[in-house]
Amino acid sequence: MSIYSYKGGYPEKLPDRVRLDSGLTLTSLHTFSSDELSALGFSGPIETPSYDEKTQRIRWDGAQFQVETLKNNSCDFNCFVDCFEKSSLNTKIYDLTASNRTLFDHYLALMRYFSRANNQTYTIGELKNRLDAVLCNFDIVESDLTELSGLLSDHHFVPEDILDSLTQYQEWTIDPNTFQKMGPAFLPEPPESE
């Protein structure tokens, strides 16, 4: 399967259709020549380089894939995601999404982030924000944090850089638009009657 970059974006297979800046929609892109695709903003076909998943990762720089060597202490993101998806904590959270729409939305955003960040540049801050959004909408207990902390440690993350204390997860909420933590809302005391 050939993959193409559209306007420098991460390479994917050709879409079924593309809407041009002019508003025109084109379909059947697989029938277009390389020159026609290039004129529309597609570059490719692009070859994914071979690499050793245990010692290297690939990163898209907007023009081509770069193979980077993992440092001994660097995070093994792909392996972490695989292990997280198989964890009992993930199963527990997923099972609760059926009855909690907010948790479902944040869980879906976390899974989309995992998918989008796979083999690309990811940041500890973004990972923390997405995990916070899920954990602040989930009745988390100490054993859940312990399991997640172990997963993070096993994959060369520093858990303290990502996870907050259990108390913070129980008291804070997440802004659904920005994924930033918000402190508990306290109503002002009513004025004393005279």
Helix or strand holding residue 43 (H, E): strand 42-46
Asked, for residue 63, whether it belongs to a domain, the answer is no
pLDDT per residue over 128-157, tens digit each? 888 888 888 777 788 888 888 888 877 767
Q: Report the first-to-last Cα separation within the chain, whole angstroms.
A: 78
pLDDT per residue over 88-108, tens digit each? 888 988 888 888 888 888 888
> What average pLDDT does the structure give for the chain?
78
pLDDT per residue over 17-66, tens digit each? 888 888 888 898 889 999 999 998 889 899 888 887 767 777 788 888 88
Q: Are residues 32 and 91 in the same domain?
A: no
**Which pLDDT belongs to residue 35?**
92
Q: Are residues 160 and 118 in the same domain?
A: yes
Higher per-residue pLDDT: 2 or 174: 2
Q: Are residues 83 and 174 in the same domain?
A: yes
Note the pTM of the prediction, 2 decimals.
0.50
Higher per-residue pLDDT: 135 or 178: 135
Strands 56-60 and 65-69: antiparallel
Asked, for residue 155, whether it belongs to a domain, the answer is yes
Asked, for residue 111, whether it belongs to a domain, the answer is yes
What is the domain range of residue 12?
3-47
